[in-house]
Amino acid sequence: MEKTITVLPGDGIGPEVTEAAVKVLQTIAKRFNHTFNLHYELIGGAAIDDCENPLPEETIKQCSQSDAILLGAVGGPKWDQNPSHLRPEKGLLAIRKHFGLYANIRPVKAIPALLDSSPLKKEVAENVDLVIVRELTGGLYFSEPREKSHDHALDTLAYSRTEIERIVDTAFQIARSRRGKLASVDKANVLDTSKLWREIVEEKRQNYPDVELEHMLVDSTAMKMITQPSAFDVIVTENMFGDILSDEASVITGSLGMLPSASTREDGFGLYEPVHGSAPDIAGQNKANPAATILSAAMMLREAFQMETEAAAVEEAVFNVLNDGNFTGDLQVEGKRVLSTTEWTAKVLEELD
C-alpha cells in the first residue's frame, strides 16, 4: 500500500523521538512492501520561531493531503512568556479543531518488564489493559461564554447530542473489538450535560448488545483506577474528566515514556503522538525514550491504515527489546542496561529486520 504521512517533530525531544518512529516506519515499509511518503512540517515553538504562527498554513495544507499525522511534542520554556496567540500549545489545539479530531484514544497496558517502576503494588498493576476514550473538542475547555474579571469568572460546560453520539459510538466500537466491556463515566447525579450523556449512552447501547455497559461516576472511577485498574476495558468520558482520568491512568504502568495516543475522527484520520510532553530538561541529549512515539506509529498503522500485522510487529519488537533488559534512562529498573535514544531504537530496528 502507498500512504502519505506528515511528520510534525515539534519541540524539545519531539525531533529525537519522531526520528526514531520514522526509522521504524521505514523498516516496516521495507519489510512489508509498502510505500510511506513522509513530509516534514513545522508546529508549535519551532513554527513560532520560523513564521510567528504555531500552526502555519503550509502545515495544515500538507496534513490535509496526508493519510495520517505523526507528532512529537510541542512547547518549552523558551515560549512560556509569549502572548497567548504565540503559545506552542495553541498549534496543537488548533490542529485538533481544524481536522475535527474529537476522539482521543489512550491505551494503557502494563508491561511485565517495567512493573517494578509502577507506584502501585505489582498484583494491582500487572494485568492492566485498558483504553481511555476522551471527547476532545467540546465541553468545558471550548464552550462559550467565558469571562474573567477581578472578582468573577465564568466557564461554560455545553455538549450537543451530535458531539456525544459520535464519541459514544467510537467507544462502543473499540469495546466491541476488545474484551467487550465499556464504562461510561459522568457526573449524572449533578450535571445536566452528564444526564444527556447518560441518556444517549442508553440509546446507543441498543446497537451494541454484545457490549457489557456500566455507568460510573467520575469520582468513584478515579478511586477504582487506583484500587482495581485491571477491572477496566474501555472507558468513555467527556473532555475534562478524560483529561484528568487519562493522566491518572498514565502513571499506573510507571512509565510516561511508554504511552502512545491517537486523536482521531470517524474515518481514522488523525494525529498520532506520545502522551508525554516535550521534556525540555533532556532535549537534545539523545536520552529520551522513543517507545511512546514508536507505539503511536504502531497505532497509526492499525487505526489509520488497517495494517494489523505491521502494528503487532512493531509492538512485539518494542516489548522484546525491553524484555531483553534494554532500557532508556527514564525507566527505573534494577540491573537495567541504559541505552541512548538512538541505541535503543537500533535494537528495535534489529528486532524488526
* Footprint of Mg ion (CB under 5 A): 277
Of the candidates 23, 96, 106, 276, which one interacts with ligand ATP according to CB under 6 A? 276
Residue 278 binds ligand ATP, judged by CB under 6 A: yes
Of the candidates 56, 75, 107, 229, which one interacts with ligand ATP according to CB under 6 A? 75
User: What part of residues 156-185 is at the interface with ligand ATP (CB under 6 A)?
Assistant: none
- Spatial neighbors of 202 by CB under 8 A, at least 6 apart, are none
Set 181, 187, 195, 224: catalytic member: 187
Residue 6 binds ligand ATP, judged by CB under 6 A: no
What is the bridge-based pairing of β-strands 35-40 and 2-10?
A: parallel
353: annotated active-site residue: no
243: annotated active-site residue: yes
Residue 87 binds ligand ATP, judged by CB under 6 A: no
Cα 46 to chain centroid distance, Å, stands at: 21
Residue with the shortest CB distance to Mg ion? 277
219: annotated active-site residue: yes
Please check if 155 is assigned to a binding site.
no
Instruction: Compute the Cα dihedral for 37, 107, 141, 236 and give only its sign.
Output: positive
Residue 279 binds ligand ATP, judged by CB under 6 A: yes
67: annotated active-site residue: no
Which of the ranges 30-38, 146-154, 231-239, 270-278 carries the binding residues for ligand ATP, by CB under 6 A?
Answer: 270-278
Please check if 86 is assigned to a binding site.
yes
Please check if 88 is assigned to a binding site.
yes
Q: How many residues does the chain have?
A: 353
Residue 91 binds ligand ATP, judged by CB under 6 A: no
User: What part of residues 13-32 is at the interface with ligand ATP (CB under 6 A)?
Assistant: 13, 17
d(CA 166, CA 144): 21
Q: Please choose, from the candidates 75, 76, 116, 113, the residue with its C-alpha nearest in 3D space to the C-alpha of residue 92.
A: 75
User: What part of residues 209-268 is at the interface with ligand ATP (CB under 6 A)?
Assistant: 256-257
d(CA 334, CA 325): 10
CB of residue 42 to Mg ion, shortest distance in Å: 21
Nearer to ligand ATP, 235 or 279 (CB): 279
d(CA 78, CA 278): 12
d(CA 335, CA 149): 55
Which of the ranges 29-37, 137-145, 175-183, 284-292 carries the binding residues for ligand ATP, by CB under 6 A?
Answer: 284-292
What is the CB neighbour count within 10 angstroms for residue 320? Answer: 16
- Spatial neighbors of 76 by CB under 8 A, at least 6 apart, are 11, 12, 45, 88, 278, 280, 283
272: annotated active-site residue: no
Which residue pairs from 95-100 have beta carbons closer than 8 angstroms and sit at least 24 positions apart in sequence? Answer: 95/43, 95/55, 95/59, 95/60, 95/63, 95/69, 95/271, 96/136, 96/137, 96/263, 96/271, 97/137, 98/55, 98/60, 99/63, 99/64, 99/265, 99/269, 99/270, 99/271, 100/137, 100/265
Set 243, 330, 336, 347: catalytic member: 243
In the annotated binding site for NAD(+), the residues are 76-89, 277-289
Catalytic positions: 141, 187, 219, 243, 247
Give contact residues for ligand ATP (rule: CB under 6 A): 13, 17, 73, 75, 256-257, 276-279, 281-282, 288-289, 292, 330
In the annotated binding site for substrate, the residues are 96, 106, 134, 219
In the annotated binding site for Mg(2+), the residues are 219, 243, 247
